[in-house]
Amino acid sequence: MAESFPAPKPATKSPAGALLLEYALKALLVAGLCELVLYRLVSRLGMHLSKVAREYVAVEYFLRGASSIGFALLNFSAILVFLVLGLFLFYKMNGWLARPLDRMVILVTSAILGLTVVFLLFPPAMLGSIAFNTLTIVLVWTLVIQYCLAHPAPLSRAMIICYGLGVSGWLYYQISTTTFGWLGIPTSPPLVHEISRAGEALMVVATGLVFAVYSGFTFRTNNRRQRKRAIQYALTWAVLFLALLVMDGVMEGVNPAMASQIRQAGQGIGWIFQMGMGYTFFLPFAFYAAGLLLWSYAVIKQITMGRRAGYGLALMFIAGYALQLSHLTMFVVAGLLLVVNDGRVEARESTAQAYPIGVSSHPTAEASGVS
């Protein structure tokens, strides 16, 4: 009796441009992170160390070289984020990664990219800046609604809403102050500084919620080794957080001179990050340090798993709070698109084994597909 073999299953092909998107995202992550460190942070550090740079020529050359490389990476990352947004538009228009409200996302994203091209040819005036930021806030909340529709968990919705409100605080500051300046109104917009600070505080809250949603960190496990490791991590972070929180008061009582030096060093670090990422550090420094650790853990975990959400969270962090450059705004948009349309980044084709050796009564295990 002749043996019958199962028919070969067709390959699950990745959409066109998936390989380009994969490498564009990886290059964008590296370029954006290096630009953040070399241009937005180290160059500001050079302004803080101007006296040292005048005394030591090597320091001056290092700072100039880092600033030049960072500026080149800034332009390169702007091109890459433009490419990533264009690929997402291509996907959406062809029905891939379909979500509710995609028509609105396509329309507003196309308008933002079009305005960006126009601004390259004609420098934007106040009205152009108002239009760009208004479209951005509409797109941010459209993507927030998309995320809430796809993720019914209360913690996930709280995370994305906190982030959306945080970004909206800065966009309100930009839109309101620019509008008042364009109209020639000499007074400050209503509650502009309060809303901006509330937005920064919500961004810090979002870092903790990102950890809760995307880190996979839990004490509920039957594996004693994993539970022990989780307890060690939690205790270490708790001790560091409390140490940073009470360090100023303790040092003031023990050694007032050293406490003053630590406070001045903290102000210098805060000034560098304020110029580079827009955080004013009006909250205790321990909250920002904890947020950095929590967000970084979640990003590393998701990227090592090969998820789009990891790259999206990284871009949202690199953009910072004060979106003073247009490419940072597009970082936020691209990051939200990646988080909303989460899935595997690798562009591979999954094929089942065509002719398995031998005949088994159990079904053969299929290769895991890639979303």
pTM comes to 0.78
pLDDT at 142: 94
Residue 342 · residue 299 · CB < 8 Å: no
3-state class (DSSP) for residue 349:
coil
Q: Which residue has the higher pLDDT, 166 or 18?
A: 166
Helices 57-93, 102-121: inter-axial angle, 10-degree rounding: 140
Residue 189 dihedral angles phi and psi, to the nearest 5°: -60, 155
The residue type found at 266 is: G
**Element housing 4 (H / E):** none
Q: Is the pLDDT of residue 200 over 60?
A: yes
Name which residue leads in pLDDT, 293 or 234: 293
SS (H, E, C) 266-320: HHHHHHHHHHHHCCCCCCCHHHHHHHHHHHHHHHHHHHHCCEHHHHHHHHHHHHC
Q: How far apart are CA 281 and CA 361, in angstroms?
A: 64
Does 354 score more than 70 pLDDT? no
pLDDT confidence band for 348 (50 / 70 / 90): low
